[in-house]
Amino acid sequence: MSETNFASAEDKMFARVEAGMKRRRAAEKRFQWYGRCAVALGLTFLVVLFVSIVSNGYTAFWQTRVTLDVTLDASVIDPQGSRDPEVLRAADYGGLIKATLRDMFPDVTGRRDRFALYGLISNGAAFDLRDRVLANPQLIGTTVSLSVAADDDVDMLMKGHIDRDGAEADRRIKDNQLGWIDQLQADGRLERVFNLDFFANGDSRDPELAGIRGALMGSVFTLVVTLALSFPLAVAAAVYLEEFAPKNRWTDLIEVNINNLAAVPSIVFGLLGLAVFINFFTLPRSAPLVGGLVLTLMTLPTIIIASRASLKSVPPSIREGALGVGASPMQAVMYHVLPLAMPGMLTGTIIGMAQALGETAPLLMIGMVAFIADVPNGVFDPSTVLPVQIYLWADSPERAYVEKTSAAILVLLLFLATMNAVAVLLRRRFERRW
Amino acid sequence: MEAQASHLMASGGPSHRAVGADLGGGTYDRAHRGTVGEIRVEVPRMRCTKVNVHYGDKHAIHDVSLDVGKNEVLAMIGPSGCGKSTFLRCLNRMNDTVASCRVTGEILLDGKDIMAPEVDVVPLRARVGMVFQKPNPLTFPKSIFENVAFGPRIHGLVQTRAELEEVVVTSLQKANLWEEVKDRLNDPGTGLSGGQQQRLCIARAIAIQPEVILMDEPCSALDPISTAKIEQLIDELRRQFSICIVTHSMQQAARVSQRTAYFHLGDLIEVGDTDQIFVKPQHQLTEDYITGRFG
């Protein structure tokens, strides 16, 4: 009797729980779906971003080149036959290329038409030819087959970015130029090759000559300066504040200020760099050294905060273990606490460095936005950095800079991925259980 | 209050059984604090007199006076928060690492005051080693060998590699760990079992030839078999070192120690020979604790 009562009470309870379970399961399922939707949305945006960048940018890694048979006329290059490099350097190679074009298209007469014809070939062709002759003066007097970059408009046409059926007035390539290009193509003189120039050149006003190398090296130098300064400084500051500093009002004040510094808009650091490093210390303008110093100021608080958090997370038993056998506080920190905190510190550093790599605003202030065609060879040479280069190209009117912009973004992302990969590898090496 | 309390520190004085008889709720008469039993020994290694510890405003230890004898195991028992670990950490000034902690009183090691400001804690901790509650093999340097070698190396106790190896081997042998690890001295210390790790920590502590070894609940994270091994080890180590052990296990205190000190709410209530404390406690609080009425 009592047993059945008990059973029925139990059943009742189960029924009540069961009724609630339905709602609970639904809520749980809903919650999971919210999460899935959020992840899916994020992934979608990421995919859209990558598809648009890659589809815009991949063509920049290809380049249209024209093969010309240039006769290196000795009377033009070196009339005295001295083979003096100075004479060779000053010769009119542009004239030789123009002469070659005139020979290839004898029908083209008239100043305007000839000008249009010369426009098919990049301005850089004359320099290519000069370098070749300077490297090997024995070529003078012979006819060489020279592959030169086509003008960016030709390149755009070949890549399908210019509609050849549109109205002539709307086209950068006119009808007569179309005819010559078709003829060059029919002769097999147009070819599509991998765009080495993009990785070998600095910036240029001619899109077909513009390359990423200047900005890439600028970014590398800037980040090397930033890393070399900010990592040791930040780790030293974090270790002192966390392990040695007395806990009083002053250290509290310092902590609050470091946290505030991390939230200061980056352009303010640029102004500071301009006032202090350039105006007061008269360091060179546009130099990666100054850029690195400014970015150091910017990334220091980030790395300090991350490093302190990671020092805090090292269990006290590690410190006590070392102190308990009579290690001095410094030995305990250097041999035991710091290596365990290293993965966290590296994570903070990589976040800071990624931030620094993508930073544009403070660098505008210190002149790294200038047009610089030369590839920098050191931290004192004027240069620009990848994000600024992207900004500069995105701002340029020529159609060919559209693909350059996307390609530069790809290079920037690749740079970032490489940096992250190195950090992950380093972290793996340091990661230990305790 | 303080002065009054210190007067009550009698050695084997009249029975205090009546004091604080109403215990369950923790209403314990602070005015009658004091220690029963013999706090002094004939040949002390360490002698503490009127040690007080404050954590900020909190008075964690009141006027504790206690001797640690040569070649004895002194067990400290008491309910959680009674200050036994805090007192233990005074003995090698480990409390210096806690910013808010203030220790006053006199603590002598072989007749010399270790509380004096000019005393450097680094050599002190070489003489008073410590083993902690949670086995904490050093992760850097990480191998078993390096864990034991760390102390002798930083203190410059050895000149040559051969000497260092000898110290490591003897320390591991003394810690009864040698047979288990001799083939994998270069493996990480964290790869050992909990009990092995704790014995590694003991080996690390004895490698620097301390005079006193402090053990803060060394077996609380271990299984019974490992615990038995450590207890056996403690008994062997007594021949060479003085050992202070804080423990929550009264059976352990009874098994390994010669003298037992019972702490309660920051006071040292009773000290005496272990046999006597567990068989015939003099103080009501001690009796209540060891009979399991609270704690």
**Inter-chain CB pairs, A–B, below 8 Å:** 82
Name which of A289, A288, A266 is nearest A372 in CA terms. A288
B28 pLDDT band (50/70/90 cuts)?
low
B19 pLDDT band (50/70/90 cuts)?
very low
The yes-or-no verdict on residue B23 having pLDDT over 60 is no
Which of B129, B139, B190 minimises the CB distance to A324? B129
d(CA A324, CA B210): 11
Phi, psi angles (nearest 5°) of residue A193: -130, 170
List the Cα angle A175/A176/A182 in 5-degree steps.
90
Residue pair B176/B233 in contact (Cβ under 8 Å)? The answer is: yes
Alpha-carbon torsion, ordered A140, A141, A145, A151, to 10 deg: 70
Residue B27: predicted pLDDT: 47
Q: Which of residues 57-76 of A touch B (CB under 8 A)?
A: none
Residue B16: predicted pLDDT: 42
Phi, psi angles (nearest 5°) of residue A239: -65, -45
Could you say which of 1.10.3720.10, 3.40.50.10470, 3.30.930.10, 3.30.160.20 is the CATH number of the domain covering A213-430? 1.10.3720.10
- Using CB atoms within 10 A of its CB, is residue B270 exposed (0-12), middle (13-18) or buried (19+)? buried
One-letter-per-residue 3-state SS of B23-82? CCCCCCCHHHCCCECCCCCCCEEEEEEEEEEEECCEEEEEEEEEEEECCCEEEEECCCCC
Amino acid present at B22: D
Taking the CA of residue B210 and the nearest CA in chain A, the distance in Å comes to 9
Residue of A nearest to B149 (CA): A325
Residue B20: predicted pLDDT: 38
Which of A320, A321, A326 minimises the CB distance to B122? A326
Q: Would you kindly state where each structural domain of chain A is located, as residue ranges?
A: 3-58, 61-195, 213-430
Residue B117: predicted pLDDT: 83
The SS3 of residue A144 is strand
Structure-token pair, residue A169? 């007035």
- pLDDT tens across A38-87, in order? 999 999 999 999 999 999 999 999 999 999 999 888 888 888 888 888 88
- pLDDT tens across A347-375, in order? 899 989 999 999 999 999 999 988 999 99
Block residue for tokens 């083979």? A83
Q: Please state the pTM of the whole predicted model.
A: 0.79
- pLDDT tens across B231-278, in order? 998 998 899 899 999 998 888 999 999 999 999 888 899 999 999 999
Phi, psi angles (nearest 5°) of residue A256: -60, -40
Domains of chain B (ranges; CATH) run: 2-290 (3.40.50.300)
Chain-chain contact of B190 with A433 (C-beta, under 8 angstroms): yes
How is A352-369 classified by DSSP, letter by letter?
HHHHHHT--HHHHHTTTT
Residue pair A150/A66 in contact (Cβ under 8 Å)? The answer is: yes
Chain-chain contact of B155 with A247 (C-beta, under 8 angstroms): no
Residue B141: predicted pLDDT: 58
First to last CA, chain B: 26
d(CA B45, CA B68): 6
Chain-chain contact of B141 with A433 (C-beta, under 8 angstroms): no
Residue A73: predicted pLDDT: 85
Residue A2: predicted pLDDT: 52
**A325, A331, A340: best to mutate for the B interface, most B CBs within 10 A:** A325
d(CA A276, CA A292): 14
Chain-chain contact of B136 with A317 (C-beta, under 8 angstroms): yes
Residue pair B40/B11 in contact (Cβ under 8 Å)? The answer is: yes
The mean pLDDT value of chain A amounts to 90
Which of B92, B154, B188 minimises the CB distance to A327? B154
- Using CB atoms within 10 A of its CB, is residue A137 exposed (0-12), middle (13-18) or buried (19+)? middle
Chain-chain contact of B137 with A432 (C-beta, under 8 angstroms): no
d(CA B12, CA B1): 22
Residue B98: predicted pLDDT: 81
- pLDDT tens across A181-224, in order? 999 999 989 999 999 989 999 999 899 999 999 999 999 999 99
Residue of B nearest to A333 (CA): B140
| Residue B122: partners with Cβ closer than 8 Å, 6 or more residues away | A326, A327, A328
Phi, psi angles (nearest 5°) of residue B147: -60, -45
Residue pair A388/A368 in contact (Cβ under 8 Å)? The answer is: yes
Which of A321, A327, A339 minimises the CB distance to B132? A321
For residue A259, the tally of other CB atoms under 10 A from its CB is: 12
- Please give the share of chain A, as a percent, with pLDDT higher than 70: 98
- pLDDT tens across B83-108, in order? 898 999 999 898 887 878 889 999 99
Chain-chain contact of A324 with B130 (C-beta, under 8 angstroms): yes
Residue A3: predicted pLDDT: 55
Name which of A198, A170, A267, A238 is nearest A57 in CA terms. A198
CA A128 to chain centre: 27
Structure-token pair, residue A378? 């050191």
| Residue B214: partners with Cβ closer than 8 Å, 6 or more residues away | B88, B89, B91, B92, B128, B129, B130, B131, B243, B244, B245
Which of B123, B132, B155 minimises the CB distance to A317? B132
Residue pair A197/A208 in contact (Cβ under 8 Å)? The answer is: yes
Of the listed ranges A230-234, A244-248, B2-6, the least confidently predicted one is B2-6
Beta bridge partners of B103: B53
What's the ipTM?
A: 0.74
Amino acid present at A124: G
Name which of B255, B230, B238 is nearest B133 in CA terms. B230
Block residue for tokens 């390149």? A155
Phi, psi angles (nearest 5°) of residue B80: -60, 140
Chain-chain contact of A318 with B139 (C-beta, under 8 angstroms): yes
Strands B101-109 and B242-246: unpaired
Name which of A323, A396, A387, A327 is nearest A360 in CA terms. A387
**Helix residue ranges per DSSP H, A107-244:** 111-118, 125-135, 152-158, 175-186, 196-200, 213-239
